[in-house]
Structure 1
Amino acid sequence: MSETLQITDADLLDQTAIAVQEAGSALLERFGEVVGYQTREELMAALVANDDAALAILRPRLTRLRPDAGWVEDELDGGALPAGEWWVVDPAEGNVNHLHALPEWAVTATLVRDNRPVLTAVHLPLTGQTYTALAGAGAHLDGRPLRVSRTADLGLGIVATSQARPDEDEEVVRRVGSSITAMLFDALVVRTSVPATLHLLNVAAGRIDVFWQFAGARADLLPGALLVTEAGGRISDAGGRPWTPESESFLAAAPGVHAGAVATLSR
């Protein structure tokens, strides 16, 4: 049996965490000044340059760990994956923030096995923090266990949402707007910013109570979905139904406010 097949998922997670940390260091070297652009083409070129800098580290390291695993080429892709193992990677989650010298960005890598995330590592280069989760073994921040909040009243809760991508169709945009309005009535505070992953880290750590999003890609939801689940939270679509990467909406919440969030988002 080859060395690759013998490695445990726990050991694989440790190596994945090292890979995202090294990629994060490469992005950190590129961070600091606002990157100017005048056209969509110039913006896309700057985004791709960041992605390529991180992928130059991530792809060979993760491929060595799991040479038979597939690789999701487009971080904005959604829907189900074929059977087997796949690396779902966002080399610069919150890339547009990085270009604008804003602090909300990260590097993520998630191993999906038969359409179920089994491990994830999310590194925040500006703080040096690394969030990890392993299916059935909990979620951690730099080795310390994470737990979602105990809030049981949505009216006392901090909630958050994110824009999945630019250029959403009109129906999605209107849904986002109406959901924010509904939450402004029912929750204590509503936060809106990108990227989704950083909100989901906060749900897993018990800092905020609810995160929801309409539309979305595997790369921006799978890492947080595993972290929140392993920290004791609930994952569904906005209507309370089981969530899959094919769902049209996503909801992550502390158990005590999940039903209230579903009721608010279903109005």
Structure 2
Amino acid sequence: MTDDEGDDPDLRILAQTTEAVEAAGRVLLERFSSENRVTDRESLLAAIEANDAASTAVLRPALERIRPTARWDDDEEGAGPLGPGEWWVTDAAEGNVNHVHGAAGWAVTATLVRDDEPVLTAVHLPLSGETYTAARGHGAFLDGVPISVSAKSELAAALVSTAQAKPGEAPEIRRRLSASIDALLEHALLVAAAVPATLQLAPVAAGHTDAFWQFGQIRSGLVAGALLVREAGGVVVDAQGEPWALSSEAFIATTPGLAPAMTAALSALP
């Protein structure tokens, strides 16, 4: 973000949004220990709920002050279009399951969606202190330094990843996910699968990995990463190569050079 861009209203909103996710991140960091463990489903769900509540208590009021007229997307597992106007799409503890197990891989995210298009986002990783930001038309950044996707165009040399969108995926999504992993194992150099999605998308935007795909459309897990990758010079499409939207059934974020091979591999799935 440069000084001459400071008059853009969205950049001013982004600066405030960044402060909000970092404040919520400090709450989660205070609650974190590498000794954290859960012993059963009941304790797992209770720990997740407590983290969400603690972080949201800081994040939501801050974002509502920044953009009082924006509606709030309450459904962390919501999918599909939101409709006209502005919406805050957030995850106050993305990768919460990693946090409660004392592991890395969690963040606080906030994305302003306008007329079903993400226009600005801030993703804060409290353990490392890193913050990814992007605003539509202004590029993507890591701690204020511009980032860009890799220059790869050969799928056989690519590092790719996917993620399970949520627990209890529908059988047809599980089948497509399984088939897609098999297909990419055949074509890509290395294939990884991990959660959360945003923390698989940020490395694509930064050029550390080359592609991410997912079946199962959870808004809060995709909108931040979609904007980061687009603003870092990447492409975000569905399995047929059409521009990704909240109504899409599949999600692919990658480099311009790899997009044809990724869509070819995934569009051929049964």
Counterpart residue number, 1:161: 162
Give the structure 1 partner of residue 151 of structure 2: 150
Q: Deviations over 1:179-219 (max 9, x none)?
A: 00110110000011001001110010001111000012111
1:2-55 superposed Cα distances (whole Å, 9 cap, x missing partner): xxxx9811111001001100100100111112332423x432221111011111
The superposition leaves residues 231-264 of structure 1 with CA deviations (integer Å, 9 ceiling, x where unpaired) of: 0000111221221112111000101111001111
Aligned equivalent of 2:37: 35
Taking structure 1 as the reference length, the TM-score comes to 0.95
- 1:36 partner amino acid: V
**Contact map agreement 2:80 2:217 (CA 8 A) in 1:** no
Residue matched to 2:140: 139
1:60-71 correspondence runs (5 A): 60-71=61-72
- Please report how far the alpha carbon of residue 74 of structure 1 lies from its aligned counterpart in structure 2 after TM superposition: 1.4
2:95 aligns to what?
A: 94
Tell me by how many angstroms 1:82 deviates. 2.2
| Aligned amino acid, residue 149 of structure 2 | V
Aligned position for 1:254: 255
TM-score, scaled to structure 2: 0.94
Q: Which amino acid letter does the alignment assign opposite residue 254 of structure 2?
A: A
Distance in 1 between residues matched to 2:205 and 2:8, nearest whole Å: 27
Structure-2 separation of matches of 1:27 and 1:245? 29
Q: Does the CA contact (< 8 Å) of 1:165 and 1:216 recur in 2? A: no
Whole-Å Cα distance in 2 between the matches of residues 238 and 37 of structure 1?
39
Q: Distance in 2 between matches of 1:187 and 1:242?
A: 22
- Paired with 2:11 and 2:100, the residues of 1 have a C-alpha distance of 34
Taking the TM superposition and a 5 Å limit, the aligned residue runs for 1:1-267 are 8-32=9-33, 33-39=35-41, 41-267=42-268
Whether contact under 8 Å (1:85, 1:114) holds in the other structure is yes
Unaligned 5+ runs, structure 2: 1-6
Describe the SS at the equivalent of 2:258. helix
Q: How far apart, in 2, do the equivalents of 1:42 and 1:245 lie?
A: 33
Query: Which letter maps to 1:9?
Result: D
In 1, are the aligned partners of 2:10 and 2:120 still within 8 Å (CA)?
Answer: yes
Letter of the 1:22 counterpart: A
Which blocks of at least 5 consecutive residues in structure 1 are unaligned?
1-5
What letter matches 2:40 in structure 1? Q
Post-superposition CA distance 1:65-110 (Å, at most 9, x none): 1111100111110111121111001001111011111100110000
User: Size of the alignment, in residue pairs?
Assistant: 261
**Which one-letter code corresponds to 2:162 in the other structure?**
T
Which ranges of 4 or more aligned residues in structure 1 deviate by more than 4 Å?
none
**Separation in structure 2 between the aligned mates of residue 114 and residue 62 of structure 1, nearest angstrom:** 18
